[in-house]
């Protein structure tokens, strides 16, 4: 286990741009100072880093230092579904991908819908993460009668947020009705507790199922018909209205539709306390890619048209969408092109590929490196009350660092992959810009494609909730 004291010679990126600076760390693994280098000291050296030197110094000449990514949407399947992933493998994949904090979703087994299950999960996961982590609770239909007490108790245990699954997805946790959600958001309106919504309307999806027998099971458009845009937009509008009427802090997961971007922008102008995320799969793929990728690109909500994809980029660049998360959803079972497009499992294992994919986009000019920092670390940390401890490299912040080689070419393959499941449409993809070392609170956790430490990630009990 290597405690790092300085990272020298690199370029430190923030939301505001690059800085030629050395990073000085204190004994607690926090950033002590950023020492800007003079023009005479360019740190120029023939061979490129990273190179580990005496006294815990990393020579990062030619490399970029990014605040480690904060992935606010992962499913590590632990406890209960560990044949697909567990916290050790999921967090190892995170570390290799430059992700230093993850927030894990509550559709594990048992579902985290009450304080007992959350306490059980906190104990089950302890000591088994390479990166720092938060855990969601869920608002579930079974607890509708004592929802306020259940949510209050989960918040008291440190839940990073409360997830509401408005549509059927893995685990099929049912949400309370709108009346109960309204009471819930009214009650917690000023507390700062984040309510995170999967926006697809259950009733719309259940009705649409009857269309199956008239649809072609091999045609990707059949899946899009069974998960109508109407259901996604209805749920999104309902959640935005909930935020406007109650003042609650609402987060919309995996935005995939252009009309949703417009609705979110409008709700923000009206003063809603809303943040929104999208995911690499919605930014890089569209329905036209199904013949190439096949079932590997099946996700919920589904990946839609090229027009939606372009609107999501625009939404990010203009600020309607705040951040990128992965919705890392590993499934062990191989998906076959011979089964119907509407058959589960859905989801994409993505925690390791998010940063490489986005850095590659930045290097191609689709956005800037500062945009990537804002979307993958600063804004996600802000959305869940973790900023500036996480999501920045300002003095006093945790020294969570993704050390990136902007020249390194990568390929998504078995030599690099750390997750248990390989369900990704990006398998085999090549690009440029790779995290080559990762620090969590000043400790070297991954180095040149290998794990470099024991799992010492910490549970981040949410301190943002004002009680």
Q: Which residues lie near Zn ion (CB under 5 A)?
A: 327
Name the residue number minimizing CB distance to Zn ion. Answer: 327
Rounded Cα distance between 467 and 464, Å, is: 9
- Smallest distance, Å, CB 75 to Zn ion? 6
Output 280 or 431, the one with its CB closest to Zn ion. Answer: 280
Smallest gap, in angstroms, from Cβ of residue 71 to Zn ion? 11
In angstroms, the CA 19 to CA 392 distance is 13
* Residue 59 vs 327, nearer CB to Zn ion: 327
Whole-number minimum distance, CB 326 to Zn ion, in Å? 9
Q: Which helix (H) or strand (E) is 171 found in, with range?
A: none
Cα 288 from Cα 304, distance rounded (Å): 9
CA 79, distance to chain mean position in Å, is: 19
Q: How far is the CB of 350 from Zn ion (least distance, A)?
A: 11
Tokens 């499941």 sit at which residue? 421
DSSP track, 92-104: HHHHHTTEEEEEE
Q: How far is the CB of 230 from Zn ion (least distance, A)?
A: 21
> Helix (H, G, I), strand (E, B), or coil: what is residue 242?
helix
Nearest approach in angstroms of CB 68 to Zn ion is 21
The least distance separating Zn ion from the CB of residue 73, rounded to whole angstroms, comes to 6
Tell me how far apart the alpha carbons of residues 97 and 354 are, in angstroms, rounded to a whole number. 7
Smaller CB distance to Zn ion: residue 50 or 168? 168
Give the nearest distance from C-beta 244 to Zn ion in angstroms: 24
Place of tokens 């979110």: 264
Nearest-angstrom CA–CA distance, 421 and 84: 6
Contacts of 357 by beta carbon, 8 Å cutoff, 6+ apart = 280, 284, 426, 429, 431
Question: Measured on CA atoms in the order 382, 385, 391, 396, is the torsion positive or negative?
Answer: positive
Nearest to 463 by CA among 192, 197, 248, 251: 192
Q: Name the residue nearer to Zn ion (CB basis): 117 or 329.
A: 329
Q: How far is the CB of 329 from Zn ion (least distance, A)?
A: 6
Q: In this complex, which beta carbon is closest to Zn ion, that of residue 198 or of residue 443?
A: 198
Is the Cβ of residue 14 or residue 196 nearer to Zn ion in the bound state?
196
Contact predicate 321/277, CB 8 Å: yes
Distances (CA, A) of 234 to 18, 237, 292, 299, 369: 41, 5, 31, 19, 34
| Comparison of 163 and 390: residue with beta carbon closer to Zn ion | 163
User: 74 and 108 in contact (C-beta within 8 Å)?
Assistant: no
| Nearest residue (CB) to Zn ion, 8 versus 102 | 102
Q: Select 129 or 169, whichever has its Cβ closest to Zn ion.
A: 169
Q: Which is nearer to Zn ion, 200 or 327 (CB)?
A: 327
Q: Tell which residue, 148, 210, 141, has the closest CA to residue 175.
A: 141
CA-angle at 389, arms to 31 and 432, nearest 5°: 75
Whether residue 465 contacts residue 394, with contact meaning beta carbons closer than 8 Å, is answered with no
| Shortest distance in whole angstroms from residue 467 CB to Zn ion | 27
């Amino acid at each position: 286990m290597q405690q790092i004291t300085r990272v020298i010679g690199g370029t430190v990126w923030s939301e505001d741009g690059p800085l030629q600076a050395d990073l000085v760390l204190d004994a607690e693994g926090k950033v002590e100072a950023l020492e800007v280098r003079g023009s005479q000291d360019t740190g120029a050296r023939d061979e490129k880093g990273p190179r580990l030197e005496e006294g815990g110094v990393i020579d990062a000449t030619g490399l970029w230092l990014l605040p480690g990514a904060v992935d606010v949407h992962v499913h590590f399947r632990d406890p209960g579904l560990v044949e697909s992933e567990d916290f050790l493998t999921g967090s190892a994949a995170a570390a290799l991908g430059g992700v230093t904090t993850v927030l894990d979703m509550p559709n594990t087994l048992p579902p985290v819908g009450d304080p007992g299950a959350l306490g059980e999960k906190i104990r089950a996961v302890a000591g088994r993460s390479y990166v720092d982590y938060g855990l969601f609770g869920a608002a579930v239909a079974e607890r509708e009668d004592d929802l306020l007490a259940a949510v209050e108790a989960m918040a008291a245990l440190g839940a990073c947020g409360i997830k509401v699954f408005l549509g059927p997805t893995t685990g099929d946790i049912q949400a309370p009705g709108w009346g109960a959600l309204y009471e819930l958001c009214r009650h917690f309106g000023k507390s700062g507790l984040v309510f995170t919504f999967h926006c697809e309307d259950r009733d719309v999806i259940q009705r649409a199922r009857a269309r199956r027998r008239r649809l072609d099971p091999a045609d990707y458009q059949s899946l899009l018909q069974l998960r109508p845009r109407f259901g996604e937009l209805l749920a999104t509008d309902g959640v935005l209205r909930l935020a406007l009427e109650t003042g609650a802090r609402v987060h919309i997961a995996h935005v995939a539709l252009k009309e949703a971007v417009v609705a979110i922008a409008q709700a923000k102008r009206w003063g809603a306390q809303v943040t929104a995320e999208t995911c690499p799969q919605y930014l890089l793929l569209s329905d036209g890619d199904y013949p190439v990728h096949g079932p590997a690109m099946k996700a919920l909500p589904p990946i839609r048209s090229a027009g939606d994809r372009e609107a999501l980029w625009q939404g990010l660049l203009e600020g309607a969408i705040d951040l990128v998360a992965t919705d890392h959803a590993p499934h062990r079972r191989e998906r076959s092109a011979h089964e119907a497009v509407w058959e589960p499992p859905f989801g994409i294992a993505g925690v390791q590929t998010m940063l490489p994919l986005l850095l590659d986009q930045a290097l191609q000019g689709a956005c800037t490196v500062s945009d990537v920092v804002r979307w993958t670390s600063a804004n996600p940390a802000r959305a869940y009350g973790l900023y500036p401890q996480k999501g920045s490299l300002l003095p006093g912040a945790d020294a969570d660092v993704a050390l990136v080689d902007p020249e390194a070419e990568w390929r998504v393959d078995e030599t690099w992959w750390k997750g248990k499941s390989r369900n990704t449409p990006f398998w085999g993809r090549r690009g440029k810009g790779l995290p080559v070392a990762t620090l969590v609170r000043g400790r070297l956790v991954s180095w040149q494609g290998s794990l470099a430490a024991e799992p010492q990630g910490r549970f981040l009990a949410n301190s943002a909730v004002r009680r």
